[in-house]
Chain A
Amino acid sequence: MLKYTLKRALMAILTIWVVVTITFFLMNSIPGDPFTDQKKIPPEIMEKLEKKYGLDQPLVVQYGKYLKNILKGDLGDSMKYKNRSVNSIIEEGFPVSFKVGMLAIIFAAVVGITFGTIAGLNRAKFFDFLVIILAVIGVSVPSFVFAALFQYVFGVKLKWFPVARWGTPAHYVMPVLALGIGYVAYIARMMRTSMLDVLNQDYIRTARAKGLSSTQVTWRHTIRNAILPIVTILGVSIAGIVVGSFVIENIFAIPGIGKHFVQSITHQDYTLIMGTTVFYAVILVVMMFLIDIFYGIVDPRIRLE
Chain B
Amino acid sequence: MSEVKTEQVEGLKLTEDMFQRIGKDEKDYDKIVRPSLTYWADAWRRLKENKLAIMSLIILIVVVVMAFIGPLMRPWAYDDQDFTAINKAPDSVHWFGTDDLGRDIFVRCWDGAKISLFVALISTIINVTIGVVYGGISGYVGGRTDLIMMRIIEIIYSIPVLLWVILLMVVLGQGLGTIILAISITGWGGMARIVRGQVLQLKQMEFVLAAQTLGADTSRIILKHLIPNAMGPIIINLTFQVPGAIFTEAMLSYIGLGIPEPTASWGTLAEKGTKMLLIHPYQLLYPALLISITMLAFNILGDGLRDSLDPRLRQ
Report Cα–Cα, A149/B255, bound state, in Å. Answer: 18
Q: B163 to A277, Cβ gap below 8 A? A: yes
In the complex with contacts A142-B291, A156-B278, A11-B151 CB distance below 8 A:
yes
B62 surroundings in chain A (CB, below 8 A): none
Q: A288 to B158, Cβ gap below 8 A? A: yes
- In this complex, how many residues of chain A approach chain B with their Cβ under 8 Å: the count is 48
Q: B274 to A277, Cβ gap below 8 A? A: no
Task: Give min CB distance, B274 to chain A, whole Å.
Answer: 5
B284 surroundings in chain A (CB, below 8 A): 145, 148
Q: A30 to B296, Cβ gap below 8 A? A: no
Say which one of A40-48, A215-223, A244-252, A296-304 lies at the interface with B. A244-252
Query: Who on chain B is nearest to A266 by CB?
Result: B256
Q: B300 to A246, Cβ gap below 8 A? A: no
Task: Give min CB distance, B154 to chain A, whole Å.
Answer: 7
Asked whether A105 is an interface residue with its Cβ less than 8 Å from the other chain, the reply is no
Asked whether A1 is an interface residue with its Cβ less than 8 Å from the other chain, the reply is no
Report Cα–Cα, A243/B157, bound state, in Å. Answer: 13
B163 surroundings in chain A (CB, below 8 A): 243, 277, 280-281
Q: B160 to A277, Cβ gap below 8 A? A: no
Task: Give min CB distance, B102 to chain A, whole Å.
Answer: 22
- Binary per-residue interface labels of chain B (165-199) against chain A in the complex, 1 for a CB within 8 Å, 0 otherwise: 01111110000000000000000000000000000
Report Cα–Cα, A23/B303, bound state, in Å. Answer: 37
Q: B277 to A152, Cβ gap below 8 A? A: yes
Q: Is the interface of B mostly helix, strand, loop or mixed?
A: helix
Q: A265 to B158, Cβ gap below 8 A? A: no
Query: Who on chain A is nearest to B266 by CB?
Result: A142
Asked whether B260 is an interface residue with its Cβ less than 8 Å from the other chain, the reply is no
- In this complex, how many residues of chain B approach chain A with their Cβ under 8 Å: the count is 39
Report Cα–Cα, A266/B255, bound state, in Å. Answer: 10
Query: Who on chain A is nearest to B168 by CB?
Result: A26
Asked whether A139 is an interface residue with its Cβ less than 8 Å from the other chain, the reply is yes
Say which one of B4-12, B220-228, B229-237, B246-254 lies at the interface with A. B246-254
Report Cα–Cα, A15/B155, bound state, in Å. Answer: 5
Report Cα–Cα, A268/B257, bound state, in Å. Answer: 12
Query: Who on chain B is nearest to A182 by CB?
Result: B247
Interface centre among B168, B169, B171 (most CB of A within 10 A): B171
Q: B299 to A140, Cβ gap below 8 A? A: yes
Report Cα–Cα, A246/B151, bound state, in Å. Answer: 28
Asked whether A285 is an interface residue with its Cβ less than 8 Å from the other chain, the reply is yes
Report Cα–Cα, A15/B288, bound state, in Å. Answer: 36
A193 surroundings in chain B (CB, below 8 A): 315
Asked whether B212 is an interface residue with its Cβ less than 8 Å from the other chain, the reply is no
- Binary per-residue interface labels of chain A (135-176) against chain B in the complex, 1 for a CB within 8 Å, 0 otherwise: 011011110110011011000100000010000000000000
Report Cα–Cα, A30/B170, bound state, in Å. Answer: 8
Asked whether B292 is an interface residue with its Cβ less than 8 Å from the other chain, the reply is yes
Task: Give min CB distance, B72 to chain A, whole Å.
Answer: 28
A144 surroundings in chain B (CB, below 8 A): 250-251, 254, 270, 274
Report Cα–Cα, A14/B154, bound state, in Å. Answer: 11
Q: B291 to A145, Cβ gap below 8 A? A: yes
Contact of A141 among B255, B278, B292 (CB under 8 A): B292
Asked whether B105 is an interface residue with its Cβ less than 8 Å from the other chain, the reply is no
Report Cα–Cα, A142/B291, bound state, in Å. Answer: 8
- Binary per-residue interface labels of chain B (280-301) against chain A in the complex, 1 for a CB within 8 Å, 0 otherwise: 0100100010011001101110
Asked whether A79 is an interface residue with its Cβ less than 8 Å from the other chain, the reply is no
* B interface list, Cβ under 8 A from A: 151, 154-155, 158-160, 162-163, 166-171, 243, 247, 250-251, 254-257, 270, 273-274, 277-278, 281, 284, 288, 291-292, 295-296, 298-300, 303, 315
Closest 8 A-B residue pairs measured CB to CB?
Answer: A140-B295, A140-B296, A145-B288, A243-B160, A243-B162, A141-B292, A239-B160, A15-B155
Give 17 A-B contacts (CB < 8 Å), ordered by A residue.
A15-B155, A26-B170, A142-B247, A142-B251, A142-B291, A145-B291, A149-B288, A151-B277, A239-B159, A242-B160, A243-B163, A262-B256, A262-B257, A266-B256, A273-B167, A277-B163, A281-B163
Besides the known contacts A273-B170, A284-B159, A285-B159, 16 further A-B residue pairs in the complex with CB atoms under 8 A apart: A18-B155, A22-B167, A26-B170, A136-B300, A137-B296, A140-B292, A142-B247, A142-B288, A144-B251, A145-B288, A148-B274, A148-B277, A148-B288, A243-B160, A266-B256, A273-B167
* A interface list, Cβ under 8 A from B: 11-12, 14-15, 18-19, 22-23, 26-27, 29-30, 136-137, 139-142, 144-145, 148-149, 151-152, 156, 163, 193, 196, 239-240, 242-243, 246-247, 250-251, 261-262, 265-266, 268, 273, 277, 280-281, 284-285, 288
